[in-house]
Homo-oligomer: A and B are copies of this chain.
Amino acid sequence: MKILTLGEIMLRLSSASGQRLSNTSSLSCHYGGGEANVAISLANFGHDAYFASLVPDNLLGLGVKQHLQYYGVHTDYLLFGGERLGTYYLETGVSQRGSQVIYDRAYSSFSQISNDIWQDATLFTGIDLFHISGITPALSEDWQVLTKQLIQKARLAGCKISLDINYRGKLWTQAAAGLVIRELLPLVDYCSAGELDARYILALFDDKAISVDLLTCYQKMVATYPNLAVIYSTKRQVRSASENDLQGFIYRDGHLSMSQAYHISPIIDRVGSGDAFSAGILHGILKGWDAQEIITFGTAACVLKHTIEGDRNLFTEREVLRFQKQGSGDIKR
Q: In the complex the two chains form, is A29's CB within 8 Å of B18's CB?
A: no
Contact-size category for A:
35 or more
CB closest residue in chain B, given A304 = B97
Q: In the complex the two chains form, is A307's CB within 8 Å of B23's CB?
A: no
Q: In the complex the two chains form, is A333's CB within 8 Å of B170's CB?
A: yes
Any B CB within 8 A of the CB of A266: yes
Q: In the complex the two chains form, is B264's CB within 8 Å of A19's CB?
A: no
Any B CB within 8 A of the CB of A96: yes
Closest 3 CB pairs of A and B: A241-B329, A22-B63, A240-B329
21 contacts between A and B (CB under 8 A): A13-B13, A18-B308, A24-B29, A59-B89, A66-B70, A93-B307, A94-B307, A95-B306, A96-B262, A96-B264, A96-B306, A96-B328, A98-B330, A98-B332, A100-B332, A101-B332, A103-B333, A107-B107, A169-B333, A240-B265, A271-B331
Q: In the complex the two chains form, is B102's CB within 8 Å of A60's CB?
A: yes
CB closest residue in chain B, given A95 = B307
Q: In the complex the two chains form, is B28's CB within 8 Å of A26's CB?
A: yes
The quantity of this chain's copies bound in the complex is: 6
Expressed in whole angstroms, the minimum distance between the Cβ of A39 and any Cβ of chain B is 14
Q: In the complex the two chains form, is A84's CB within 8 Å of B99's CB?
A: no
Taking CB atoms and an 8 Å cut-off, the chain A residues in 238-264 that contact chain B are 238-243, 262-264
CB-contact partner of A26 in B29, B69, B104, B308, under 8 A: B29
Q: Determine the chain B residues whose CB is within 8 A of the CB of A170 once the complex forms.
A: 332-333
